[in-house]
């Protein structure tokens, strides 16, 4: 067990904790004899890939393990002198939100969509602080102010769908801290957030820790976030703690190969300075990447406006365009990185250039203008351009075997017979690093990284010339992300694919792109070659995006803190 650096007694102590999963084949151990301590005012980061046991650890501490599938087999979880493993459900309910609270990764699924923000905040306050009426509402308003939400009085009457992702996460933090818990568990609280919003949330968590003296367990796979936030670090793999120590020693002198692998896979802004394109991952020569080649995608004056003037719901107001007069082109073997925050118009641009939503302007794919084409006329164009979405699980039909999902585009376009399609599916699975037997399995049987590879295989089924990748690696673990990015680069080098690579992660965009366009409020505010944009950013917004990227170096963060 990790020993605390402080002489003070720990606020939370996890000792020899093991958790078993019930499976059709019998019990399987998913947490194996883990232990650590958390002292007052300390931030402990638990890092590792999906399946390492991070979230199971947090759910065990909170007493939220699904009893039908997971069960504590042995060990203890001491909050002060109380063993949480031995407490009844009623006793645990009185602790949750009061002495110990949790912020989950996805605020939209954690907040009740049919309850106002105020009702959800005051519910916890009334339960744990015995505050009623105006007193509970006053505390709720104060907590929204503490997490720096503007117009807190108005926000109390709003519903979750009326707030941005960053604001919803602030509401979750406000709710978790409203009863002054001793321990706050934050499970991937910034994974789905833009880099600037992430920086704001991390800064907020540091400030609130100082103000309220809360101890924090931060669960993440982002080693840049670990470097910025951690006092101490626990590295998990396959349900076990394989390395532990203070942040400086973990980053400066990692002992385990797995820890070294995690750190090496972190994209670092500036790592590719002085080069004009992505790093080579094969020896294949991309003869298609020439300035004189006709663009696969040509976009001129693209504009997308949701709603229209004169609609009674809008009371005659002209809605602002979601995408406003955007122009660019992409040639074979080339990647254009499109970056910006949520709401900047990136994803809307990606959907519009594939004809998935109405647009104004001119879009040409592989020499064919798609404006005004019917669904039937668009079908041949689909063979030239495909899309990879952010969430691979939501992109796959859970009732459809993987092989059937990959073959479906070939069936729609009348390509090959059944036997030939099966052979092609096997070849595509092998191309993305999966075995042929994966064809008979279903999406839930794969990891997140494997599901994204399946989506890439499906996108390649029609041998397209253009792929629009919309936040295609945002939700993946750092090492899985590195492997998927290498796969995309390999496919580009061997097939001459053109990519519109949409992301809010500046370090990933730097690694992948030949050209970069930065979007804000529906407009491109800066565009150029990768070297021009990343080494000599002109627009203040581009500079702010780059400054907000977490640096995987705890020493640098401590120097910055000392200067401040």
Does the residue 54 lie in any domain? no
Q: Are 254 and 227 in contact (CB under 8 A)?
A: no
| Residues of the chain below pLDDT 50 | 2-6, 309-312, 314, 562
Tell me, what's the pLDDT at 189? 82
Q: Are residues 336 and 294 in the same domain?
A: yes
Rounded to the nearest 10 degrees, how much is the dihedral formed by the CA atoms of 367, 364, 456, 471? 160
Residue 557 maps to a domain: no
- On whether both 294 and 335 belong to a single domain, the answer is yes
Is 244 part of a structural domain of the chain? no
482 shares its domain with 533: yes
Predicted local confidence at residue 103, as pLDDT? 87
Please tell me the pTM assigned to this model.
Answer: 0.77
Residues of the domain holding 532: 270-384+464-548
Buried b (16+ CB within 10 A) or exposed e, 386-402: bbbbbbbeebbeeeebb
Asked whether residue 454 falls in the same domain as residue 500, the answer is no
In a domain, 51, yes or no: no
Residue 317's pLDDT is: 58
Residue 416 lies in a domain: yes
pLDDT for 310: 45
Distance CA 39, CA 43 (A): 8
Q: Under 8 Å CB-to-CB from 431, ≥6 apart: which residues?
A: 457, 460, 491
Q: Tell me the three state secondary structure of residue 284.
A: coil
Sheet with strand 515-520: strands edge to edge: 385-388, 466-470, 498-503, 335-339, 515-520, 523-529
**What's the total number of domains in the chain?**
3
- The string of DSSP codes covering 516-562 is EEEEETTEEEEEEEHHHHHHS--SHHHHHHHHTSPPS-HHHHHHHHH
Residue 405 sits in the same domain as residue 291: no
Tell me, what's the pLDDT at 4?
A: 44
The backbone torsions φ and ψ at residue 452, rounded to the nearest 5 degrees and listed phi first, read: -65, -35
Q: Is residue 58 part of a domain?
A: no
The answer to whether residues 420 and 526 belong to one domain is no
Instruction: Give CA angle at 104 (101, 107), nearest 5°.
Output: 120
User: Hey, is 21 helix, strand or coil?
Assistant: strand
What is the torsional sign of CA 273, 275, 278, 281?
negative
Angle at 518 between CA 513 and CA 522, to 5 degrees: 135
Q: What is the Cα 144 distance to its own chain's centre?
A: 24
CA distance 322 to 346: 9
Contacts of 540 (CB under 8 A, 6+ apart): none
184-206: burial string, b at 16+ Cβ within 10 Å, e else? bbbbbbbbbbbbbbbbbbbebbe
122 and 171 co-located in one domain: yes
Q: Which of 359, 337, 403, 349 is nearest to 542 (CA)?
A: 337
The reply to whether 367 and 408 lie within a common domain is no
- Domain boundary at 143, 161, 179, which? 179
Same domain, 434 and 305: no
Answer with the one of 162, 179, 196 that is the final residue of a domain.
Answer: 179
Dihedral, CA of residue 303, residue 305, residue 308 and residue 312, to nearest 10: -170
489 and 372 within one domain = yes
Same domain, 425 and 534: no
Is the domain of 444 the same as that of 537?
no
* In-domain check, residue 229: no
Residue 149, pLDDT score:
84
Q: Is residue 1 part of a domain?
A: no
Whole-number Å distance between alpha carbons of 118 and 139: 10
Q: Exposure pattern of 333-345 as b/e (b: 16+ CB <10 Å)?
A: bbbbbbbbbbbbb
Cα angle: 225, vertex 168, 200; to 5 degrees: 35
Distance CA 48, CA 222 (A): 9
Q: Per residue in 12-50, pLDDT tens? A: 999 999 999 887 778 889 999 999 999 998 999 999 887
pLDDT for 148 equals 77
> What local confidence, expressed as pLDDT, does residue 286 receive?
57
Assign residue 499 the CATH number of its domain. 3.40.50.300
């Amino acid at each position: 067990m990790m020993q605390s650096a402080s002489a003070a007694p720990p606020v939370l102590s996890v000792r020899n904790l093991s958790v078993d999963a019930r499976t059709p084949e019998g019990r399987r151990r998913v947490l194996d004899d883990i232990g650590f301590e958390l002292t007052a005012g300390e931030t402990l980061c638990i890092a590792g890939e999906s399946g390492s046991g991070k979230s199971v650890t947090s759910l065990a501490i909170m007493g939220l393990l699904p009893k039908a599938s997971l069960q504590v087999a042995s060990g203890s979880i001491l909050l002060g002198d109380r063993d949480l493993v031995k407490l009844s459900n009623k006793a645990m309910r009185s602790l949750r939100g009061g002495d110990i609270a949790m912020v989950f990764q996805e605020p939209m699924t954690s907040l009740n969509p049919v309850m106002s923000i105020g009702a959800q905040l005051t519910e916890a306050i009334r339960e744990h602080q015995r505050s009623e009426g105006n007193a509970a509402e006053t505390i709720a308003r104060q907590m929204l102010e503490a997490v720096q939400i503007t117009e807190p009085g108005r926000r109390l009457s709003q519903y979750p769908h009326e707030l941005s992702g960053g604001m919803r996460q602030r509401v979750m933090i406000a709710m978790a801290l409203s009863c002054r818990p001793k321990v706050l568990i934050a499970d991937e609280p910034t994974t789905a957030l833009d880099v600037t919003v992430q920086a704001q949330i991390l800064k907020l968590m540091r400030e609130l820790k100082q103000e309220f003296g809360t101890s924090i367990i931060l669960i993440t796979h982002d080693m840049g976030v670990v470097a910025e936030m951690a006092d101490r670090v626990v590295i998990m793999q396959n349900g076990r703690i394989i390395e532990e120590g203070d942040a400086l020693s973990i980053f400066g002198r990692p002992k385990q190969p797995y820890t070294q692998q995690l750190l090496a896979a972190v994209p670092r802004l500036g790592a590719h300075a002085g080069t004009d394109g992505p790093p080579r991952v094969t020896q294949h020569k991309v003869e298609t990447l020439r300035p004189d080649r006709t663009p696969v995608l040509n976009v001129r004056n693209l504009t997308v406006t949701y709603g229209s003037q004169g609609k009674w719901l809008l009371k005659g107001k002209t809605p602002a365009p979601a995408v406003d007069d955007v122009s660019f082109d992409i040639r074979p073997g080339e990647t254009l990185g499109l970056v910006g925050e949520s709401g900047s118009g990136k994803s809307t641009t990606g959907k519009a250039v594939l004809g998935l939503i109405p647009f104004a302007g001119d879009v040409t794919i592989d020499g064919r203008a798609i404006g005004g084409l019917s669904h039937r006329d668009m079908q041949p164009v689909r063979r030239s351009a495909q899309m990879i979405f952010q969430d691979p699980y939501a992109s796959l039909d859970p009732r459809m075997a993987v092989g059937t999902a990959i073959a479906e585009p070939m069936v729609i376009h009348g390509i090959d017979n059944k036997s030939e399609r099966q052979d092609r599916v096997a070849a595509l699975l092998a191309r993305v690093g999966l075995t042929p037997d994966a064809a008979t399995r279903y999406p839930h049987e794969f990891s997140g990284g494997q599901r994204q590879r399946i989506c890439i295989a499906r996108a390649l089924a029609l041998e397209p010339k253009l792929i629009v990748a919309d936040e295609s690696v945002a939700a993946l673990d750092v090492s899985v992300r590195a492997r998927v990015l290498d796969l995309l680069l390999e496919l580009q080098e061997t097939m001459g694919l053109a990519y519109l690579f949409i992301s809010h992660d500046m370090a990933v965009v730097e690694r992948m792109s030949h050209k970069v366009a930065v979007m804000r409020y529906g407009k491109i505010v800066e565009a150029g070659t990768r070297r021009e944009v990343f080494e000599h950013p002109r627009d203040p917004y581009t500079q702010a995006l780059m400054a907000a990227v977490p640096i995987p170096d705890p020493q640098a963060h401590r120097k910055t803190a000392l200067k401040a």
